[in-house]
Amino acid sequence: MSTPPAAQDMQATADASTTDATALTREAIARVDSSGQLDDVLALPDHLRDALWRVESAIMQDWDTSAGLVVAGMGGSAIGGALARAALGDHASRPIFVTRAYGLPPWTTPDTMVLCASYSGDTEETLACYESAGALGARRTVVTTGGRLAEMARADGVPVIPLPGGFQPRAAVAYMTVAALEVAALCGAGPRLTSEIDVAASHTEQLVAEWGPDAPEDSLAKTLARGLHGTIPVVAGAGLTVPIAYRWKTQINENAKLPCFMHELPELDHNELVGWEGAPTVGRFSAVFLDDSDIHPRVKERMELTERLIAPHAAATFRPQTRGQTTIERVISLVLLGDLVSIYLAALRGVDPGPVRVIDELKAALAQG
Ligand code: F6R
């Protein structure tokens, strides 16, 4: 066991055999990254600012929806709703619910705001939610680049927050998060965080410099990627970091083309903890615990103890911390870190982070049916 040099922001135990000598430079990443996914991650601060401007220019009225907010979306378009809910935390004054399904929760009423989030505008589950919300007489808002969703919204007079085209949907995470935060404020489910988002954009710029490809090879993101390389990562969150753990999982799935799993504390201590005993007999698993300064003190204690109990069965364990003052800064900090780690992992594996061919194939097969 050793502690890598860039350990200021994390606790780590890693087996020396997990390291990889490949330099994670812009040039090395560009060799596999045919569609510039790295640039889209590095542009996260600009996306935050542009998203604020786009919501403002959509000129939406304040709609007081006493039953709260439902964000309907899938994959890279749904995660923004979950991150927004985490960023609002205790300041959410009404229920905020994310549905990743063909239908809305049964308690949706005309007093619910339904934000239909689909980057392409053609995701069938989200289109079904849009129609259900209309049938129920719920308030609707749409965030998309176009597709059938934009067509229907325009025909129905439903406000559309327009997104820039040309991204992989998952790269629009900042846009989706800001849209959900701003719509939450408009419908009375949370406070307006506009100026905090603007400040968070500058904070994120510093982290881009600290963890991006021009940073030293022993920087936190590169160290994490090397430690996870050659393992199946299992990511755990607690409180605010639970949806971020899910983001890490999905980014490692889609960018690095790897299996990756997630769970949350304290629940993990009541089941998954035991499963780790068998881990070395079936594969090389690594554990990442996403820590935050505001986690319940007993959960913090659990996280430290759990990492220690899992370490003998894991190829590596890591405990990166959120960075920043406000909840939005802290949420975005670990989203950025996970996105970078997933791109670095793709580069270490020699795979192109952009295309998600099997998802495209599945959608095409469903469209035939
Ligand atoms: C692809 C991705 C997917 C999509 C999902 C829904 O980059 O992240 O998870 O986000 O298939 O599609 P959209 O976002 O177009 O509604």
For 195-243, the pLDDT digits (tens) are 999 999 999 999 999 999 999 999 999 999 999 999 999 999 999 999 9
Residue among 329, 301, 325, 309 nearest 238 (CA): 301
d(CA 72, CA 57): 22
Over residues 331-348, the pLDDT tens digits come to 999 999 999 999 999 999
- For ligand 1, atom 15, name the residue with the nearest CA: 120
Q: What is the pTM of this model?
A: 0.95
Query: What residue has token string 């755990």?
Result: 236
Rounded mean pLDDT of 306-322?
98
Q: Please compute, for residue 106, the number of CA atoms within 13 A of its CA located in the half-sphere on the CB side.
A: 0
Nearest CA, atom 16, ligand 1: 118
The mean pLDDT of the chain is 94
Q: What is the pLDDT of residue 14?
A: 53
Task: Output the pLDDT for position 9.
Answer: 56
Helix (H) / strand (E) containing 13: strand 10-14
18 has a pLDDT exceeding 80: no
pLDDT reported for residue 2? 36
Higher per-residue confidence, 13 vs 242: 242
Measure CA of the first residue to CA of the last residue in the chain; give whole Å. 53
Q: Mean pLDDT over residues 59-88, rounded?
A: 94
46 CA to centre of ligand 1 in angstroms: 21
Alpha helices in the chain (DSSP H): 26-30, 37-42, 44-57, 75-88, 124-136, 147-156, 173-186, 194-211, 220-228, 242-256, 272-275, 279-282, 297-310, 327-349, 357-368
What pLDDT, in 10s, does the model give residues 21-65? 679 999 999 999 999 999 999 999 999 999 999 998 886 777 899
pLDDT at residue 103 tops 50:
yes
| Protein residue whose Cα sits closest to atom 5 of ligand 1 | 75
* Best residue among 41, 71, 74 to mutate for probing ligand 1, ranked by most atoms within 8 Å of CB: 74
Q: Which of 265, 235, 231 is nearest to 247 (CA)?
A: 235
> Which run of H or E residues covers position 98?
strand 96-99
Active site residue 270: yes
User: Active site includes 257?
Assistant: no
What's the confidence (pLDDT) of residue 120? Answer: 98
Residue 302 Cα, ligand 1 centroid: separation in angstroms? 34
Is the shortest distance between the CB of 246 and ligand 1 below 6 Å? no
Structure confidence at residue 16 as a pLDDT band (50, 70, 90): very low
CA atoms of 360 and 295, how far apart (whole Å):
38
300 is catalytic: no
Residue 13 reports pLDDT greater than 90 = no
Kindly tell me the burial class for residue 151, based on how many C-beta atoms sit within 10 Å of its own C-beta (0-12, 13-18, 19 or more). middle
% the chain with pLDDT above 70: 94
Output the CA 105–ligand 1 centroid distance in Å.
Answer: 21
The pLDDT of residue 5: 40
- For the Cβ of 126 lying below 6 angstroms from any atom of ligand 1, the answer is yes
Is 11 or 60 the better-scoring residue by pLDDT?
Answer: 60
CB 97 within 8 A of CB 68: yes
